[in-house]
Amino acid sequence: MNTLRVPVDPWNPDPAVLREAAAVLRRGGLVAFPTETVYGLGANALDADAVRGIYRAKGRPSDNPLILHLACREEAERLARPTPRARSLMSAFWPGPLTLVLPARPVVPAETRGGLDTAALRMPDHPVAAALIEAAGFPLAAPSANLSGRPSPTDADSVWEDLGGRADMILDAGPVSVGIESTVLDMTAEPPLLLRPGGLSREVLEDFLGVGLGCPEVPSARSPGTRYRHYAPFVPVWIWEGGPLPEGADPGRCGFMGLTSPSAPFARSLRFDSPENYARGLFAGFRAMESAGVLGIVVQWPPASGVGLGLRDRIRRAARTGAEDDSAASASLGL
């Protein structure tokens, strides 16, 4: 497949380019586009064949459901059955990095839902994403635009690296602003369950709702995506919590990423001046270190507050080597 890569102005995308991308989507094709969290690989969420194309292109397990991206809040009523509490979250935090899991209406194909009876909905906060969904006229199913298991793409080069030849079109609007995926909340549970920490912090949500969020004992049961090793570079990732370096991590041949540096000099090093910038740079950092030829990456464990909880989740799963007890893993996040 020939993949067309088109530059677009992030604030003021060219309507002709959007029309062309919308036509590709209408034909059942795949268009990678920027959101504020990471780049997504979009297809018509209401067309089962188009959605199957996403799973094929990414090599994604078909029981891992997709998030439906909307251009307006009203669309949520047509696709799902929001509770009053879900509606108040939409008013407060959409557009933004918050995905709500709600009882699905039959119009959402089983392929999009990964066979579940719920649908995950979000309204992205990016002018290109909003304009593309608007131009298409239907919601876009859009997982991150990477090969399954690889670090999510935060710029178009990363999308190209994984999906060049596998997507019809890539809209290149430069680097994203948040850098990790949305927070996923299951609104069918009482209190709502934090299925995936992400761009919107747990503290902000709990303050707003006035309740503590539940955390799944075994994340895999309700959110299939949390079951897989994910976000991982090809080289090993070690978590560093301060003190001596992890065993096997030879600084002379490894990279380091984090908020403060250990005393040993690393072959490559990326230091971030805030957890927000750490989140923005994590995935691109993984890819850059890998291309630089390091033998492994030592990654500093961030504080659990704010975006740090989502960052911990991505780091933990990138560092994971095999089957692991999920409840122990969620305890290690501080959940």
Binding site for ligand AMP (CB under 6 A): 64-67, 101, 113, 116, 118-120, 143-144, 181, 184, 195-196, 222-226
Residue among 67 and 163 whose Cβ is closer to ligand AMP = 67
Residue among 143 and 258 whose Cβ is closer to Mg ion = 143
Q: How far is the CB of 237 from ligand AMP (least distance, A)?
A: 19
* Cα 174 to Cα 12: distance, rounded to the nearest angstrom: 13
Q: How far is the CB of 211 from ligand AMP (least distance, A)?
A: 20
Q: How far is the CB of 197 from ligand AMP (least distance, A)?
A: 11
Residue among 151 and 255 whose Cβ is closer to ligand AMP = 151
Q: What are the CB-based long-range contacts (under 8 Å, 24+) for 48-53? A: 48/109, 48/110, 48/111, 48/112, 50/25, 50/141, 51/109, 51/111, 51/112, 51/141, 52/111, 53/28, 53/29
**Partner that binds at residue 116, options ligand AMP, Mg ion, none, CB closer than 5 to 8 Å by kind:** ligand AMP
* Cα 118 to Cα 216: distance, rounded to the nearest angstrom: 16
Q: Do 295 and 250 form a contact (C-beta atoms < 8 A)?
A: yes
Question: Where along the sequence are the contacts to Mg ion (CB under 5 A)?
Answer: 143-144
**Partner that binds at residue 196, options Mg ion, ligand AMP, none, CB closer than 5 to 8 Å by kind:** ligand AMP
Report the b/e string of 314-329 with b at 16+ CB within 10 A: bbbbbbbeeeeebeeb
Residue among 184 and 193 whose Cβ is closer to Mg ion = 184
**Partner that binds at residue 226, options ligand AMP, Mg ion, none, CB closer than 5 to 8 Å by kind:** ligand AMP
Angular region, 52: left φ>0, alpha ψ -120 to 50, beta rest: alpha
**Partner that binds at residue 184, options ligand AMP, Mg ion, none, CB closer than 5 to 8 Å by kind:** ligand AMP
